[in-house]
Amino acid sequence: MTTKQRAYLKGLAMNIDPIYNIGKASITPEFTEGIIEALEARELIKVSVLKNCADDPKELAQLLSERTGAEVVQVIGKKIVLYKQAKDKDKRKIELPKERKKTV
């Protein structure tokens, strides 16, 4: 993901609310399945890490990224933003800015 694409997704994420909360149970297999389904439906989601969760939000974001195949857009405080392009082209909602090819 390019810097321009990440910046674009950050801008979109500012207007969405967290749809999942990570609590003291941390990340369970059921939680991961829910995240995968949400990413397929929405492509861009925000996850909140609650105060009773002892884990580091950056480590949780990396773990979620590995388990779901999503890109970590950003981690700010206790908020994690994840992006994964929908597999079905008809369900894609977000069009990322194209990469510019450098000419020499």
Half-sphere exposure of 36 (CA within 13 A, CB side): 13
pLDDT at 101 (0 to 100)? 64
Q: Are 97 and 4 in contact (CB under 8 A)?
A: yes
Interval 14-73: pLDDT, tens:
999 999 999 988 888 999 999 999 999 999 999 999 999 889 999 999 999 999 999 999
pLDDT at 62 (0 to 100)? 96
Interval 77-88: pLDDT, tens:
999 999 998 887
Q: Does domain 3-84 have CATH number 3.30.110.60?
A: yes
Could you tell me the residue ranges of all domains in the chain? 3-84
Q: Which H or E run contains 5? A: helix 3-13
pLDDT at 8 (0 to 100)? 92
